[in-house]
Amino acid sequence: MCGRYTNEMTWAEIHALYSIHDAPASNLQPRYNIAPTQTVDFVVNDKGGSRELIQGRWGLVPFFAKEIGKMTTINARIETVDTSGAFREAFKKKRCLIPADGYFEWTTSEVDGKKDPWLLQLPSGKGFSFAGLWASNDNLGITSCTIITAPAVEHIAHIHGRMPVILEEDAYEDWLSLEAQGDDAKALLLDRHLDNELQFHRVDRAVGNSRYEGTDTKKPIVNSL
C-alpha cells in the first residue's frame, strides 16, 4: 500500500518532469510527511490535452458520493481498479500522476514489537510519479485522488506485500491521454513501472506521527538492515 509519502520537488523540477508551463498560483512548498486526507498536488490533462498541476484531497471521493465515506480510498488495488464502483469511472476517464520523491512503509520490530518506518526512493532521491486516479464531486465541492497499488516486487516484499505503481516517464502520456483502456491500461501499470529500481533504508520512528513535519524524515538510521 502507500499510506505516507514525501515530495520536495521544486517548481523547476515539476516543470522538467511534466513539461507544465503555467506555474501554480502559489509557490510549491517541500512536504516531508504527507498523510491521507491532506491536500496534495497531482497532474492531469486539461480539456485541451495539456498537462496542468491541480490540488485535491488524498482519499478519493467518487463523483456520485453524497458524503465523505469511511471506506479506505487512499489506495486503489490494480486487481479491481477497473471493476470497483469507487474507481471504475475514474479509471476510464480521470487518471492522474501524483508527484513524489519517496514513500514510507512500516515493519514490526522483533526487539520491542513497535513499528519501524522505511523510506523507499529511486536512486539519488530522484522525483517520480505514482499512477493515480482523481474525481471531482460537485455536490460536496471536493476534488480528490487515490494512488494505485500492486503486489510488491520481490526485493520490496519483505517490507510490505503491496506497493504503489511508479510509472516510467515515457508512459505518462499514454496514462493521461486515456487512449489505453481496459487490459491495455492495466498493462501500462504492470509493464511500464520503476518499482524494481527502488532503494530503501530505515528512518526515525517520529515519521509514524502524521503530524510530524521535520525536515529529517529521510535521514537514514545507521546500521539499518
Residues annotated as catalytic are: 2, 105
CA distance 108 to 205: 11
If residue 104 lies in a helix (H) or strand (E), which one and from where to where? strand 102-108
3 state SS of 176: helix
Q: Which residues are registered as beta bridge partners of 45? A: 51
Cα–Cα distance between 174 and 167 in angstroms, integer?
A: 11
Of 3, 49, 5, nearest to 173 by C-alpha is: 49
Residue 44, φ and ψ in degrees, nearest 5: -135, 165
| Nearest C-alpha neighbor of 160 from the set 119, 114, 189 | 119
Q: With CA atoms as reference, report the closest residue to 225 among 208, 188, 200, 189.
A: 200
Residues in CB range of 70: below 8 A, 6 or more apart = none
Residues 10, 28 contacting (CB under 8 angstroms): yes
Place of cell 523540477: 13
